[in-house]
Amino acid sequence: MDLITDQGQLFIILACIFGAFMAWGIGANDVANAMGTSVGSKAITIRQAVVIAIVFEFLGALLAGGEVTATIRKGIIDPTALAGQPELLVFGMLASLLAAGTWLLIASYRGWPVSTTHSIVGAIVGFAAVGISMDAVNWSKVGNIAASWVVSPVVAGSISFVLYKTIQHFIHDNQDPFSQSKRLVPLYILLVGFIISMVTLLKGLKHLGLQLSFLESVGISLLVGILVMLIGRVIVSRIHADPEVSEAIHIANVEKVFSVLMIFTACAMAFAHGSNDVANAIGPLAAIYGVISHGGEIAAKSAVPVWILLVGGMGIVAGLVTFGHRVIATVGSGITELTPSRGFAATLAAATTVVVASGTGLPISTTHVLIGAILGIGLALGAGSLNYRKVGSIFISWLVTLPAGAALAILFFFIFRAIWS
């Protein structure tokens, strides 16, 4: 207890530095995965992707990041195992942030698309199991999180498969695909606006004191969706096609319409990613802040201050600006060939899965979700369209991430404990 009282401010400063470092790693690696479909389908340029992600990643982290943060902070470790030893939680969370951030730096430098959720959960489980005791880990919660890593790509892949099949049936197979696309794309835009607004209003704004009923949220979300749809309709109406040109040109014109739609889905995916993955950086930071602010007491639940969300949001933006372009340029085209219509289906499916998980407090991996969505597109096109070598290398990088995060966290934990013991 004396250590917490005497060194509390130092621990909070270190937590902010390591949390920002971890958030930087999220921006450098994971945001690239979130924006890869938009760039890979050539709907937007890398420069445009960076600008979109800066704005919407930050808004997602700030406005809708509080719900998932609670799960990372208090769900994996049993607080009773740390009774009387709050400094062990501080050391462990510092070690977890530094370990996960270090691994993401290595992976980003090497161009590996890894999971930030794997990195931080593996780190927390590693320090708790070895540094404290096996009983300190809530293994049932870890099991639920691990199950979500399998379920979430399957869900995202299923949604993207169905979405793209509807696009094929109602637009590409239509006698006049271009005119049909101009009629239907605004409805897809409405769907994007509605989904993001619903989850944000129902779950994401709780920590800001906004309490709305379900019906009120539906009404507001519909208005937001309609507003976004009207904006998209104006943009789409400016795209024109020559009725005398060939079918190939018609298909190209259809893809132009979906390029407009990809701008909206890119915004949705960036917001969704910021809302879910900011918890990986600020969850341990919030845990340290809670212990210090309560004088060493490990509180069962405490509010996440807005300044902690700001640290996470700004760190993600910094990582994206400095390193994000390295992975963005390669992720979008490595698994299967993407066009704007295919990229739309994958991105909307991934965004839907991520924001629902964020609203329910389940920390899924954005990387897993997006890869699952792209695989769904590949299966809709035919199994032969997938690059199985690339898929295999991605799966291997996922497997390496868990033990790497755990090993680094154990090392840093014992270093911190030795320094302050």
pLDDT tens digits for range 299-322: 555 566 778 878 888 888 888 888
**Amino acid at the residue 7:** Q
pLDDT attached to residue 413: 94
Residue in the block written with tokens 């096109």 = 381
Q: What is the pLDDT of residues 65-80, one digit of tens each?
A: 666 556 555 577 776 6
pLDDT attached to residue 160: 92
In this prediction the pTM is 0.79
pLDDT attached to residue 20: 92
Q: Which residues of 161-172 are buried (b: 16+ CB within 10 A; e: fewer)?
A: bebbeebbeebe
pLDDT attached to residue 265: 77
Q: Quick count: other Cβ atoms within 10 Å of Cβ 267?
A: 23
Low-confidence ranges of the chain (pLDDT < 70): 1, 33-34, 64-74, 79-80, 82-83, 199-200, 202-210, 241-251, 276, 296-304, 329-333, 358-361, 363
Tokens of 172: 């590409």
pLDDT attached to residue 340: 85
pLDDT attached to residue 101: 94
Which residue(s) pair with 185 in the sheet? none
Q: Which residues of 322-360 are buried (b: 16+ CB within 10 A; e: fewer)?
A: ebbbbbbbebbbbbbebbbbbbbbbbbbbbbbbbbbbbe
d(CA 293, CA 285): 12
Domains in the chain: boundaries = 2-420
pLDDT attached to residue 395: 80
Tokens of 360: 């329910």
d(CA 88, CA 84): 10
Tokens of 176: 């006049």
pLDDT attached to residue 363: 65
